[in-house]
């Protein structure tokens, strides 16, 4: 495993090994990556992904160089091609964590890179490291992945975490997915084709109310304002299927609410103290998964 570009590249065995490693790293710092340098190259804003990768690298004894606004503060602003930027940074570091606004850009970057490239989100494409931490959260919180039912809610068209998590769930048995979205923001055919080929049962609906009591997980997502060309269109969907305390109580005992974050107004803050709220646990698990990923791609 050199580059981490899309969820489909993982199989159950590699996921299981990664999860074991992540669990073994909990609460520990080490110097196993001493002498290694990670570049975080972000063309789009981030709080969790960038800071967790940087924290992970530092906790493993490595170093970081970073640009949180590569669109403005790298030579791309002078017209440099992504490929040339990647070739250049290859000479300075051992791994590049890249977030880019264009779908497919991570694949392009990996084709010219001799060092590992990690996809930290490519436009509306994929966010595989988020999906891995989401899956790890499911295993840690529910004790299983096979057999779970999940409602994925919100902007399923543009939501890259939705795409990556769907591909990963396709590797497991007896999964049932309810895609809950407005008509205009339905999940793409490429994801549905993949699920059909992997015999994953899914349904599409516009109503969370009718299925909320059936599922083990509600995976809520933000309407992706930055992907809309019209603010009016965004405002039409904003706050779609907001989860409040009443709705969380309609969920079955032992079920969980997840969200990749950031949230805007999809989950009321009053839900945060519910035992079902797992979204800040995801943040913690994300650090462990990213430590495990860096150790996996960087250790000889």
Q: Which residues bind ligand CP (CB under 6 A)?
A: 46-49, 121, 127, 130, 260-262
Taking the least distance from each CB to ligand CP, the nearer of 156 and 200 is: 156
Taking the least distance from each CB to ligand CP, the nearer of 200 and 285 is: 285
Chain Cα centroid distance, residue 124: 12
Residues 6+ apart with CB under 8 A from 273: none
Cβ distance 151 to 185 under 8 Å? no
**Phi, psi (degrees; rounded to nearest 5) at 40:** -105, 115
Least separation in angstroms between CB 126 and ligand CP = 11
Taking the least distance from each CB to ligand CP, the nearer of 200 and 278 is: 278
Taking the least distance from each CB to ligand CP, the nearer of 46 and 110 is: 46
Least separation in angstroms between CB 45 and ligand CP = 7
Residue 268 CB coordination number (10 Å): 15
Dihedral sign (CA 239, 240, 245, 246): positive
Least separation in angstroms between CB 50 and ligand CP = 6
Residue 199 CB coordination number (10 Å): 10
Least separation in angstroms between CB 253 and ligand CP = 27
Chain Cα centroid distance, residue 263: 14
Least separation in angstroms between CB 150 and ligand CP = 17
Cβ distance 135 to 10 under 8 Å? no
* 8-state DSSP, 300: -
Containing H/E element for 89?
helix 82-89
Helices 160-169 and 128-142 sit at what angle, rounded to 10 degrees? 60
Residue 4 CB coordination number (10 Å): 24
Measured distance between the N- and C-terminal CA atoms of the chain, rounded to whole angstroms: 12
Taking the least distance from each CB to ligand CP, the nearer of 36 and 48 is: 48
List residues with catalytic annotation. Answer: 48-49, 78, 99, 127
């Amino acid at each position: 495993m050199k580059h981490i570009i899309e969820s489909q590249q993982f199989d159950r065995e590699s996921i299981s090994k990664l999860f074991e490693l992540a669990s073994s790293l909990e609460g520990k710092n080490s110097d196993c990556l001493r002498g290694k340098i990670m570049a975080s190259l972000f063309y789009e804003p981030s709080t969790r992904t960038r800071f967790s990768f940087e924290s992970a690298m530092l906790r493993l004894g490595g170093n970081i160089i970073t640009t949180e606004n590569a669109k403005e503060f790298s030579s791309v602003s002078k017209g440099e091609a992504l490929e040339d930027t990647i070739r250049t940074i290859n000479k300075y570091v051992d791994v590049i964590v890249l977030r880019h606004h264009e779908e497919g850009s991570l694949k392009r970057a990996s084709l010219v890179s001799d060092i590992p490239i990690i996809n930290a989100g490519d436009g509306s494409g994929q966010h595989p490291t988020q999906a891995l931490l989401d899956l790890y959260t499911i295993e840690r919180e529910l004790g299983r992945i096979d057999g779970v039912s999940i409602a994925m809610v919100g902007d399923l068209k543009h939501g890259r975490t939705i795409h990556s998590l769907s591909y990963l769930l396709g590797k497991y048995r007896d999964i049932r997915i309810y895609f809950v979205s407005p008509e205009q923001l339905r999940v793409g055919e490429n994801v549905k084709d993949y699920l059909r080929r992997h015999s994953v049962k899914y349904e599409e609906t516009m109503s969370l109310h009718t299925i909320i009591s059936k599922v083990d997980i509600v995976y809520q997502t933000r309407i992706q304002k930055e992907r809309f060309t019209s603010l009016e269109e965004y405002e039409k969907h904003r706050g779609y299927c907001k989860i409040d305390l009443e709705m969380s109580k309609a969920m079955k005992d032992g079920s969980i609410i997840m969200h990749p974050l950031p949230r805007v107004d999809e989950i009321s803050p009053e839900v945060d103290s519910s035992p079902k709220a797992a979204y800040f646990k995801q943040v913690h698990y994300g650090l462990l998964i990213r430590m495990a990923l860096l150790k996996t791609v960087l250790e000889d």
